Structure 1
Amino acid sequence: MVTRRGFIDGVSAAGAATLLGITPSASATTHVGRAVTDAELRARDAIRATNVGMRASYAALKSELISRLSPVIVVQNDATGGEFSLIHGGRPQESVNPVPELFELAKSISHVPQGIFSIIAPYLSGKVPNLPNAGRIDPHDLDMVAFERPGAVSWVSPLQGYAATLTTARRQLGEANLPQELEISCGKILDEALTFIRDSVRSGTFDMASFEEFSGRTYPSIRTNMKYAAAAQISGVEGLMRKWRATIGEEAWKDLYTVVLSIWTTSELNQASIIVRRCMNPAKVATHLIDLPTVELPRDPIFVALDNLARIVQDCVSAEMVFPTDPVVADAFKGKEDLLSVEILHQMGSTAGPPAASFSAAGSACPLHKEKAQPAV
């Protein structure tokens, strides 16, 4: 394996720049209002090379660290309750979907109102009454979603197609062997959905008032489905955590990292994170449980998780060593804050974010220092 030192020694500034997708002096060939001398270009390239070298050594350290991270659980959220993978001793050990099928079935029926809304939403222009929550809807957002011309009826065919799918599910619901309460709630949702579709197609129109009545009638049943889905996920995930904890042992488990991959809209209070958190070492969960929002679910979730985890781990260590005299700045360096943002907020008078950092007293190693609220006990 290529060592960090060997990698750094073998990469020139220009080579590292190419490797990292950086073109030295590409933006330094001109300067506003005057020509740039060759000496100035060389000096600027030399300055850029310092950062190119840093990025090369940073990438090399991260590459080595990826293969050493252990133990790690990677969670990729999906429609079945999540795929969970255990990495121990630097190698993937097992990948499983531990959540009972009841989770997926309960959620599938709960999503029916959203399925209908997704079909009719583009045709809502001029059909939105004064809803109780109208003040929470951005008019421009609504215009972006309701983009079809008023009076268009091309929603009928896709709505009828979805009705055929719902009809099949309703007809076969009794054969799915669901708990009685769940079967009743699923039947109620399907019946109400089919009624809304039938009435809308017959009249050739719909509006948010009629949709709100439909969704309101289904909501109690959706809450029932959520109860069954949540119970299924808790039992499945906690059962797997107990199994893996016994597999790797208590000594290793106390240092467990967990990376939960999810799309942005489910990245806070993520269902998997809530369950896993109480299975981890309470003393380390704040730093070792990472919710990682993604643009879309990655094809290789284990690599994406470990690549990001390696960056987080090495930043946590380097922050305390690069800024040993200023723990507040160190916290920013190893967290989600950007150090330069502190100075930007200061110069902008804190009009665009949290309170600006105040300058620390003379003699402090770092000029940027801000008071940090103490966590509640």
Structure 2
Amino acid sequence: MATRRGFIGSASGIGTAALLGYSASPSAADTPVAGEVGAVAVTPQQAKDSIFAVNAGMRSNYATLKAELIKHLSPVIVVQNDAKGGRFTLVTDAGQESVNPVAETFELAKSIAHVPLGLFSVLASYLADKIPNLPNAGRMDAHDLVMVAFNDDKSSAWITPLKAYATTLTTARRNLAAAGLPAALTTSCGNILDGALKFINTSVQTKVFDMASFEAFSASVYPDIRVNMEHAAQAQIAGVQQIMKTWRTKVGEAAWADLYCVVLSQWTTSVLNQNTIIIKDCMNAAKVATHLIDLPGLETPKDPIFTALDNLARIVQDNIAAEMVFPKDTKVADALKGNQDLLSDEILIQLGGSGATAATAKAAPAYNTLSEGMCPVRK
């Protein structure tokens, strides 16, 4: 759904207007000449285009301001969540520096902890499309299951990819001792790999699997997965805290107090993202709510740093615009500053919405003293 924050791309001001198909200002032919009586006759479409051009001009000006503002954002830390625990980039007036601060233990522990999901990904499409008799059966959506179990549950086509994955697991099991992991982590990884290989061998030999047998396997290795999670979390906390401490010393306390952190993540991990949890305790507590920004997306952008700074520039300029464009209505200003669409309250009112947002909207005062029909922003 298009929102206020989504309609402006990274194009230049002139490029934005051209992309939209009309200029940011009316043509000379559509502009009345001083001293003429009445306006120049225009068609309805020309009239509409001249109105559209007003918004194109706004977008052009907005994009120009944003492009220039990006150059002045400092200090900023951009976090790209990845398999290594996150790539951190510090942006200051002096330039950029990037590092993966988390020890390899993080990735190694998570790699083995993901084995049950790896098995499930091979088998899922061959499941029967009926909810199985599992302890959490009531939590499953029947239609979701039908969409995931799209292959014939009588087929044995899953055997070949499962055996291929078993080869990978076997190699990892054989080499595990040489990886130099902590003793407890080595033991838990061995248990997970052994349990997975046993499940695969039984399933391949009998040419049969079901969710009951898979659940028995996953339950048997769950305590070991928790051990792996513990080691991964310890490695990530230590690495992130250390790089934040190092960079805090580098930029100085005064600059650090105004630090922005932008965490790029996928939607599925954007709530209680692990790096966000760790970072917030390393920032100025008074500004965490506004300066620690989770930016979820669908896939990793081609230019993560630009994407983060581009979105941060929008946020920063909206923060200032909100208080200057709507200084008499703090509720509208808050909407412009946040991730709420400015029209959301009005839509809730017209749809008969209830709850705090709609109730607050109905009680909010008009922005200025014009009559209600003339007010540019009605709440």
- 8 Å contact from structure 2 (residues 80, 87) kept in 1: yes
Q: For 1:44-83, what aligned pairs fall within 5 Å after superposition?
A: 44-83=48-87
RMSD: 2.0
Q: 1:84 to 1:16 in 2, by over 3 A?
A: closer
How far, CA to CA, are the matches of 1:304 and 1:362 in structure 2? 36
Q: Distance in 2 between matches of 1:190 and 1:75?
A: 32
- TM-superposed CA distance for 1:23, in Å, is 2.4
Asked whether the equivalents of residues 345 and 351 of structure 1 are also in contact (C-alpha less than 8 Å), the reply is yes
- CA separation in 2, counterparts of 1:267 and 1:90? 30
1:329 aligns with 2:332: yes
Give the secondary-structure state (helix, strand or coil) at the position aligned to 1:237: helix
What letter matches 2:238 in structure 1?
S
Deviating more after overlay: 121-130 vs 326-335: 121-130
Displacement of 1:362: 6.5
Q: What residue is the counterpart of 1:263 in the other structure?
A: 266
Aligned to 2:251: 248
- Report the Cα offset of residue 230 of structure 1: 0.3
Partner of 1:86: 90
Trace 1:261-340 onto structure 2 (pairs within 5 A): 261-340=264-343
The 3-state SS of whatever aligns with 2:72 is coil
Check 1:363–1:193 CA distance in 2 against 1; reply closer, same or farther (3 A cut): closer
Structure 1 residues 141 and 253, CA gap change in structure 2 (3 angstroms)? same
- TM-score with structure 2 setting the length: 0.87
**1:346 aligned to 2:349?**
yes
1:157 partner SS: helix
1:300: Cα distance to partner? 1.4
Residue by residue, what CA displacement relative to the aligned partner does 1:90-113 show, whole Å, maximum 9, x if unpaired?
621x10000000000000000000
Consecutive unaligned residues of structure 1, counting only runs of 5 or more, are 1-6, 26-36, 370-377
- Partner Cα separation in structure 2 for residue 331 and residue 198 of structure 1: 59
Retained in 2: the 8 A contact 1:102–1:228?
yes
Partner of 1:192: 195
Match in the other structure for 1:372: none
Give the gaps of 5 or more residues in structure 2: 1-11, 24-40, 370-374
Per-residue CA deviations over 1:211-256 (Å, capped at 9, x if unaligned) read 1111111111000000000000000010111111111111111100
**Whole-angstrom CA distance in 2 between matches of 1:186 and 1:246:** 38
Cα 1:110–1:362 change in 2 (3 A) is closer
The amino acid of 1:71's aligned partner reads: P
The Cα of 1:354 is off from its aligned counterpart by 5.2
CA drift at 1:294: 1.3
Paired residue for 2:157? 154
Deviations 1:1-37 (A, max 9, x none): xxxxxx97xx5xxx7521xx21249xxxxxxxxxxx9
2:21 to 16, 20, 23: 23
C-alpha change, 1:362 and 1:144, in structure 2 (3 Å) is: closer
Q: Secondary structure at the match of 1:119?
A: helix
**Percent identity (aligned):** 59
Q: Name the CA distance, whole Å, in 2 between partners of 1:152 and 1:363.
A: 65
Q: Distance in 2 between matches of 1:133 and 1:337?
A: 35
Whether the 8 Å CA contact 1:123–1:146 is kept in 2: the answer is yes
Change beyond 3 A, Cα 1:90–1:53: farther
Asked if 2 retains the 8 angstrom alpha-carbon contact of 1:68 and 1:90, the reply is no
3-state DSSP class of the match of 2:155? coil
Letter in 2 for 1:196: F
Distance in 2 of aligned mates of 1:364 and 1:133: 55
| Structure 2 CA distance for aligned equivalents of residues 363 and 122 of structure 1 | 55
TM-superposed CA distance for 1:150, in Å, is 2.6
In structure 2, distance between residues paired with 1:257 and 1:160: 47
Residue pairs, 1:100-115, within 5 angstroms: 100-115=103-118
Give the match for residue 45 of structure 2.
41
Report Cα offsets for 1:258-315 as digits up to 9, x if no partner: 0000111111101111111100000111100000001101221110000000000001
Please say which of residues 169-178 and 357-366 is displaced more in the overlay.
357-366
Equivalent residue, structure 1, for 2:7: none
CA distance in 2, matches of 1:322, 1:329: 10
> Quick check: 1:72–1:256 contact (8 Å CA) kept in 2?
yes
Superposition pairs for residues 352-363 of structure 1, below 5 Å? 355=358, 357-361=361-365
Match of 2:34 in 1: none
Change (3 A) 1:154 1:23: same
Query: C-alpha distance in 1, partners of 2:357/2:139?
Result: 24
8 Å CA contact 1:16–1:53 kept in 2: the answer is no
1:217 match: 220
Aligned pair in 2 of structure 1 residues 291, 358: CA closer, same or farther (>3 Å)? same
Q: TM-score, normalised by structure 1?
A: 0.87
Quote the residue 1:4 is aligned against: none
Contact 2:88 2:101 in 1 (8 A): yes
1:102-149 CA distance string (max 9 Å, x none): 000000000000000000000002464221211211111111110001
Q: Is the 8 A contact 2:345 2:357 kept in 1?
A: no
2:263–2:294 CA contact under 8 A, matched in 1: yes
